[in-house]
Structure 1
Amino acid sequence: MTAFRGSCLCGEVAFAVDGPFDKFLNCHCSRCRKASGTAHSCEVIVRAAALRWLHGEASVTRFDLPQARSFATAFCSRCGSPMPHLTRSGREAIVPAGSFDQPLGTAPDRHVHWTSRADWYVHGERLLIED
């Protein structure tokens, strides 16, 4: 079992996630676009017991969208970085893939809510690359 470490931008919050991941996905729903400010969220889904807080859990703020059956987001209250959170059922943890501190050795294996994607979304292979 491999443990992957992650943290927020300011370092206030740190966590570890035991692999392997159950799912690694790009979610294109309108709620994930609003919460991330991007074309899609990129998330790792694991069983709840796979997530361990190393420090700063008290600095994580959770927002449950009242009108949604299951949508939530979490972020560092100091720097605003997206952070892991448990699903409302408590069975799974949703971990923003960009919050990991090291290479994961794998990539997303699916797009979800593809028909809801932004009309301006362009798949990566069609974009110019700049360093």
Structure 2
Amino acid sequence: MADHLGSCLCGAVRFEVKGDFDSFYLCHCHHCQKDTGSAHAANLFSHSAKLTWVAGKESVAAFTLPGTRHSKSFCKLCGSALPNTQVEGLLVIPAGCLDTEITMLPTAHIFSSSKAAWDGKAGEVPVFEGLSE
């Protein structure tokens, strides 16, 4: 039985993860901002968990930014972030691609010196349960 299940936005790629996560980082580096199109990336890391592609493995692509260790995996059909195994012995799971609940809290914010200026003000804006009209 899998500890976690996940998928891409279009559902073509599905996977399961067996094992525990070691850490959960919110990374504010410029690479992660560009990579996600947001203020930060939210990734879970494990040195021991095992990834199994349940469906759509042929739709998984990977990109490593030349001259860096920054890499990502994604669905070729919808572009959704997917688990990354580019660094040997390390599984990186984008938190948003999991379909099962994550029970651990983030371990830390990292590269906070690169934090987007508007990110710190997010707590000051109105909150809606759905799309505001």
Shorter-chain TM-score above 0.5? yes
Q: In structure 1, how many angstroms separate the alpha carbons of the residues matched to 2:51 and 2:121?
A: 30
Take 2:49 and 2:26, find their aligned partners in 1: how far apart are those partners? 22
Task: Report SS of the residue matched to 2:63.
Answer: strand
2:81 is aligned to 82
SS in 2 for 1:43: strand
State the alpha-carbon separation in 1 of the partners of residues 104 and 11 from structure 2. 24
Match of 1:56 in 2: 56
Q: Give the secondary-structure state (helix, strand or coil) at the position aligned to 1:87.
A: coil
Kindly name which structure, 1 or 2, has the bigger radius of gyration based on alpha carbons: 2
CA distance in 2, matches of 1:49, 1:20: 6
Larger displacement relative to structure 2 (33-42 or 16-25): 16-25
Amino acid in structure 2 at the alignment position of 1:85: N
Question: What per-residue deviation string (whole Å, max 9, x for no partner) do you get for residues 62-111 of structure 1?
Answer: 0011121x1101110001100111133x1101110000002112221211
Aligned length: 129
Query: Which sections of structure 2, spanning at least 5 residues, go unmatched?
Result: none
* SS of corresponding position for 2:81: coil
* 1:109-129 residue CA offsets vs partner (Å, 9 max, x unmatched): 211111111122126544432
Specify the code of the residue in structure 2 equivalent to 1:87.
Q
Counting only pairs closer than 5 Å after superposition, residues 107-126 of structure 1 correspond to structure 2 as 107-122=105-120, 125-126=123-124
Residue 16 of structure 1, CA deviation: 1.1
Residues 24-47 of structure 1 show CA distances to partners (whole Å, capped at 9, x for unaligned) of: 110000000000000000000012
Q: Is the 8 A contact 2:20 2:49 kept in 1?
A: no
Which consecutive segments of 4 or more residues in structure 1 shift more than 6 A? none
In structure 2, what is the Cα distance between the partners aligned to 1:46 and 1:35? 21
TM-score computed with the length of structure 1 as normaliser: 0.89
TM-score when scaled to structure 2?
0.87
Contact 1:75–1:83 (Cα < 8 Å) also in 2: yes
Contact 1:2 1:20 in 2 (8 A): no
> Which residue number corresponds to residue 103 of structure 1?
101
SS in 1 for 2:5: strand
Structure 1: which 5+ residue stretches go unaligned?
none
Match of 1:71 in 2: 70
After the TM superposition, which of the residue ranges 21-30 and 43-52 deviates more from structure 2? 43-52
Question: Is the Cα–Cα contact under 8 Å of residues 33 and 39 in structure 2 kept in the other structure?
Answer: yes
